[in-house]
């Protein structure tokens, strides 16, 4: 197993995409099939954007196994008040400012779930959110 981990800061729009880009490069060298690389890259990028837009900062770690990748996204807050709503396509709490930039379409979490073979999300208000995705 290989582990890669990345620290993601709140509001750091410029660096968003670096983690998924680095993971993609590794997977290509490991010979992962294109369709799998694609799902993993999209899921990681959406996770990065979520951390940048909504969280107070967090980490993404990717555990790479032969043929599958487990991505763990965890942040230090603020937590999601209504998880059911947050998982709905099109539901977003992003600010007007963020939406004007073309983000916050309410597709982040649903997209991540669609890319993942197994998806779990836990959130505690004031503590933070943890997402685990197994993509195989």
Partner 1 sequence: MVSSDFHSVTLDKELCKGCTNCIKRCPTEAIRVREGKAKIIDERCIDCGECIRICPQHAKLAITDDLESIQNYQYPIAIPAPSLYAQFSVNVSINYILAGLQELGFYQVSEVAYGAEFVSRAINDFLQSNATPKPAISAACPAVLRLIQVKFPELINQVIPIKSPMETTAFLVREKMKKEGYPHEQVGIFFISPCAAKVTAVKHSLSSDASGVNGVIGISSIYGDLLHKIKNISNAPSIQKSTEAGMGWAITGGESRLVKKIRRLNVDGIANVNKVLEEVVMGKLKNIDFIEGLACTGGCVGGPLTVVNPFLAKERIYLRMGNKKGELPELPAYPNYRDLMWEKEVKPLGVLRLDEDIVLAMQKMESMEALQYNLPGLDCGSCGAPTCRALAEDIVRGQADEVDCLFKLRSKVTELAETMVELSKKLPPSLAKKE
| Interface residues toward partner 1, by CB under 8 A | 1-2, 17, 20-21, 24, 26, 28-35, 37-38, 41-42, 44-46, 64, 66-67, 111
Instruction: Indicate the residue among 116 and 123 with the shorter CB distance to partner 1.
Output: 116
Instruction: Indicate the residue among 19 and 123 with the shorter CB distance to partner 1.
Output: 19
69, β-bridge pairs? 64, 135
58, β-bridge pairs? 8, 75
CB of 81 to partner 1, least distance (A): 26
CB of 7 to partner 1, least distance (A): 18
Instruction: Indicate the residue among 22 and 56 with the shorter CB distance to partner 1.
Output: 22
CB of 135 to partner 1, least distance (A): 13
CB of 125 to partner 1, least distance (A): 29
Instruction: Indicate the residue among 18 and 122 with the shorter CB distance to partner 1.
Output: 18
Rg (CA), the chain: 14
């Amino acid at each position: 197993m290989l582990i890669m981990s990345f620290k993601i800061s709140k509001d750091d729009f410029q660096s968003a995409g670096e983690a998924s880009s680095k993971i993609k490069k590794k997977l290509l060298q490991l010979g992962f099939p294109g369709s799998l690389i694609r799902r993993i890259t999209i899921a990681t990028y959406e996770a990065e954007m979520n951390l940048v837009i909504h969280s107070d900062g967090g980490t993404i770690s990717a555990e790479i196994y032969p043929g599958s990748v487990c991505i763990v996204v965890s942040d230090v807050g603020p937590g999601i008040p209504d998880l059911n709503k947050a998982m709905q396509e099109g539901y977003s709490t992003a600010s007007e400012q963020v939406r004007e930039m073309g983000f916050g379409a309410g597709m982040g979490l649903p997209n991540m779930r669609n890319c993942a073979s197994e998806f779990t999300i836990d959130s505690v208000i004031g503590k933070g959110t943890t997402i685990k995705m197994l993509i195989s």
